[in-house]
Structure 1
């Protein structure tokens, strides 16, 4: 990849995300739902991420590490995923279908 090539995220199914979470212990999983929803329930190991905290994470994560981002239905996670790609993160995934479907895939 050349420095001028755009970096894009990938939308993945809940089943693909669940398999990735199981197989990549170093994957970073972000929950971008509101704090109340996160507190009511989230994936084990998932960190809550709000827009104002993105900058703090940019310097703490490896640019080639796996980032898996989920929200309610798979829309807001795409916005966050693109932000990480804009800062040259190369393995960024947005989960289609959101938290409930991903939780179901992980339980199955």
Structure 2
């Protein structure tokens, strides 16, 4: 019995995250900021994710499905990304610069 090589999440810039979202309609996008910030604004199609809801998502999503996670500035999203990797998700991305960077790229487009 051999163990599969561990998969790591990837840190990607906001522009790459938006390109990945556009290219992969099956990608799941998570906003891990607090509820009030999420309600004030989030990427279209992004689901709000808190730790107490992780288990449900782990069961629901396919392990090979792309998972893109953003937070305020790109720090907390790395913690959540590692959790997905720990549950054997293979394509996990944390957005460097977080929501502010995503908004800036969208505004420049």
Provide TM-score, normalisation by structure 2.
0.94
Match of 1:64 in 2: 64
Match of 1:82 in 2: 82
Stretch moving more, 3-12 or 66-75? 3-12
- Following TM superposition, where does structure 1 have runs of at least 4 consecutive aligned residues deviating by more than 2 angstroms? none
Q: Give RMSD over aligned pairs.
A: 1.1
In the TM superposition, residue 44 of structure 1 has moved relative to its aligned partner by: 0.4
Match of 1:6 in 2: 6
Structure 1, unmatched stretches of 5+, are none
Match of 2:43 in 1: 43
Output the CA distance in 2 between the equivalents of 1:71 and 1:97. Answer: 8
Output the CA distance in 2 between the equivalents of 1:90 and 1:55. Answer: 17
Structure 2, unmatched stretches of 5+, are none
